[in-house]
Amino acid sequence: MFEHVKLVLKGGIIGVANIIPGVSGGTMAVVLGVYEDLIDAISNFFTNKEKRNFYVWFLLKIAFGAVVAILALSWVMDFLLLNYPKKTYLFFIGLIAGSIPSIYNAHDDMKPNISAVIAFFAGVLLILSFAWFFPEADKTKDIGFQYDATGSGLILLLVGGFFAGGSMIVPGISGSFVLVLLGQYRVVITAIKELNFILLGVIAVGAGLGVWAFAKLINLLLKSFPKQTFYFILGLVVASLYPIFPGLPNGIIQASFGIMLAFLGAGIAYGLGNKKA
C-alpha cells in the first residue's frame, strides 16, 4: 500500500516541477528513480502486451499524483514565484544539484570515453543555447504570444502543448520554460486555475502527443546508446543550473536563508538518490 502512495507522491513532485518555469519534470523523475520506467511505459504502452497491466497502473499513479498536485498547488507555486522567486528557485537548484550523483550512478557502465564526453558537452551546449538565445526571457511572464479564442489560437496552443509535453520528459529542459518562450505560460496557468476545460483539453492533447513522441525517441536512445544517453542527460542537468540561477536575495539574512534552502533541496535529492540506489 505504501509503495502505491509513494508512487503517487512522486507523480505529484514531477507535476509540481513541470509547472515551474526553468525546473525540469524529467530531472525530478530521474531524482525519484522512476525515469526509465516512465519512458518504458509511455513508449511501449501499445506494443508490449505482456507488461501493459503494469504500464497502466504505473502511469495512472504517476498521472493521478501529477494532476492533483498541479490543480492543488498551481496557486501556491504562482504565489511563491511572484513573492519569493529567488528562494523558490534556489530550493529547486538544490534539488537539481543534489540529483547529479544519482544520475551518474543510474547506469552500470559510466566509465568516460570520447563518445560519452561528446554526449555530455552536447547536452551542456543544448541547455546553454537556450540561455544564450533567450537571455532576457522572464520565467514568470509571457513573451510573443497573445491568446485568442479563434482556431489559430487553439492551434498554436496545441503546438505549444506538443513541444512543452515532449520537453517535460527530457531531463534538464523545462516544459514550462518552453511555454514561456512560446508566450503561452500564463495562458496555461490561468486555464488551470480557472478550470477552463476547453483550453486544458487542447493543451492535454498536444502534451500527450509530445510526451509519446519524445518518449519513443528517448527509449530508442537508451536501448541503443545507454552510456552516451546518460552522459547527455547528465550534461542537460548540470547545465540547467545556469539559466535558472536567480542570484541571491538581497541582504545577508535573506541570502543566507536562500543558501540554506538550496542545501536543503540538495540534501533531499541526494538522500532520495542514495535510498533509490
pLDDT along the chain (277 residues), means of 10: 83 82 74 84 85 90 89 78 85 82 76 92 86 55 46 77 83 72 72 80 90 88 87 85 83 92 86 60
Between the CA of residue 182 and those of 31, 45, 138, 188, 215, what are the distances in Å? 27, 30, 12, 11, 22
Cα 103 to Cα 42, 203, 227, 238, distances in angstroms: 20, 30, 11, 10
pLDDT of residue 138: 46
Separation CA 106–CA 147 (nearest Å): 41
Calpha distance 22→19 (Å, rounded):
9
Find where cell 538550496 sits.
Answer: 262
**pLDDT on residue 35:** 83
- Identify the pLDDT of residue 119: 93
Does this model's pTM top 0.75? My answer is: no
What does the pLDDT read at residue 273? 62
Residue 146: the pLDDT is: 45
